[in-house]
Amino acid sequence: MLKPYFIALLLFSIQAGIAQNDFQDIFSSNTKPLKENIRIEFQDSRNNQTFLPISILKGQREGPVFTIVAGVHGFEYPPIVGVQELLREIDVDSLTGTLIIIPIANTSSFFSRTSIVNPNDQVNLNGAFPGKSTGSVTQKIADFITTNIIPVSDIFLDIHGGGVNEDLIPFALFYDNPNYPQQTKKARELTEISGFEYIVSYPFTIRDDEPAKYVFKQASQNGKVALSFESGRLGNVQKDAVSLIKNGVYNMLDNMEMYDKGTGLNAYLIQLNNQTYISATETGLFYSHLKAGDSVKKGDNIGYITNEFGEKLNEYKAHSSGIILYKISTPPVNVDDTLMCISSSL
């Protein structure tokens, strides 16, 4: 009596597994070298639909699994364009190990030219981790990455740039995660050889049961070598920002002995580990004479906000000395927006 039920259950499980998990099938395939492009589709209870493109490149020889994600924010184009060029250039015959490349993590935001959130469910993917398998489409994408891609990755690189309203200087960053000293050490080493001049570490202070929110913080929480680049500004595709991203990836792959196309580290590194954020306390128009990369001293005026009649509401001062990593560079601001991030070395 048990047997038919058991067989039916087994068949059902196998079929459900195949339908859901193209990624696992290709990732665990013994065919090498291999390059496969897949789209994972998502639908939620409100009938929102979206998809996650994933390219899996397996080299002939065994080696680390290096994951690269672009387009968590669909309006940050240098990361997306840089990854497009990497996909065209990287030859799997010369690759050791595996590359998992997500060229545009938030396709709904990208194709609708929406800066931060997925317009389907109004959720910011950069804030949705670990995600939820029964949630909205963006929460499902986060859950898929957390449960399928992070666990099989050794190195996890999340690439961002300045959105349409953001000025920033390029930097490579990692979490200074005391729970995983070996991975943190490797993350520091990889950022230092990336070719970026500014190397920024963020403190990692969340508990294991707290939501990581950001994808590479999720990877750090799960004990992976977790890194990020910020390159490009104001929603444009700057050629030098794209090159910095590509060289950064090639330098890291070279360091991991996965691919031989590195250009070497930047001769002059600036290490920063102390970030302070100035938040808007009013909604209005923001004016500032400063740009990303400028140095400020504690107490300096950094700008002011007016209402829509041009009347000044508040002046803002720097709470610390340092260099402006990024700032809002277009007029509109809302309460609690980060006007700028000032970074220094403790």
- List Cα–Cα distances, 146 to 11, 53, 97, 130, 172, in angstroms: 26, 15, 21, 6, 22
CB of 134 to Zn ion, least distance (A): 26
- List Cα–Cα distances, 265 to 208, 254, 320, in angstroms: 34, 11, 30
CB of 71 to Zn ion, least distance (A): 9
Nearer to Zn ion, 106 or 247 (CB): 106
Nearer to Zn ion, 76 or 167 (CB): 76
Nearer to Zn ion, 113 or 298 (CB): 113
Q: Binding pattern to Zn ion, positions 138-167, x when CB under 5 A?
A: ----------------------x-------
Check binding of 73 to Zn ion (CB under 5 A). Answer: yes
Structure-token match 């990303």, residue found = 292
DSSP-derived letter for residue 126 is: T
Q: Which stretch binds Zn ion (CB under 5 A): 71-79, 99-107, 212-220, 254-262?
A: 71-79
Binding to Zn ion (CB under 5 A): which residues in 74-93? 76
Nearer to Zn ion, 73 or 186 (CB): 73
Q: Which stretch binds Zn ion (CB under 5 A): 67-75, 145-153, 165-173, 208-216?
A: 67-75
Nearer to Zn ion, 160 or 186 (CB): 160
Ramachandran angles phi, psi of 203, nearest 5°: -70, 145
Q: Which stretch binds Zn ion (CB under 5 A): 72-80, 231-239, 274-282, 303-311?
A: 72-80
CB of 47 to Zn ion, least distance (A): 27
Binding to Zn ion (CB under 5 A): which residues in 212-231? none
Ramachandran angles phi, psi of 308, nearest 5°: -75, -5
Give 114-118's long-range contacts (Cβ < 8 A, gap of 24+).
Answer: 114/74, 114/75, 115/73, 115/74, 115/75, 115/163, 115/164, 115/165, 115/235, 116/73, 116/75, 116/163, 118/50
CA 200/CA 172 separation, integer angstroms: 6
Pairing of strands 198-203, 270-272: parallel
CB of 182 to Zn ion, least distance (A): 28
* CB 144 within 8 Å of CB 215: no
CB of 53 to Zn ion, least distance (A): 18
Nearer to Zn ion, 84 or 306 (CB): 84
Q: Which stretch binds Zn ion (CB under 5 A): 70-78, 99-107, 139-147, 175-183?
A: 70-78
* CB 78 within 8 Å of CB 161: yes
In 3D, which of 312, 309, 105, 317 has the Cα closest to residue 218?
A: 105
Check binding of 233 to Zn ion (CB under 5 A). Answer: no
Nearer to Zn ion, 58 or 73 (CB): 73
CB of 39 to Zn ion, least distance (A): 22
CB of 125 to Zn ion, least distance (A): 9
CB of 79 to Zn ion, least distance (A): 8
Pairing of strands 295-296, 166-168: unpaired
In 3D, which of 297, 192, 195, 175 has the Cα closest to residue 241?
A: 195
* CB 271 within 8 Å of CB 295: no
Nearer to Zn ion, 73 or 224 (CB): 73
Q: Which residues bind Zn ion (CB under 5 A)?
A: 73, 76, 160
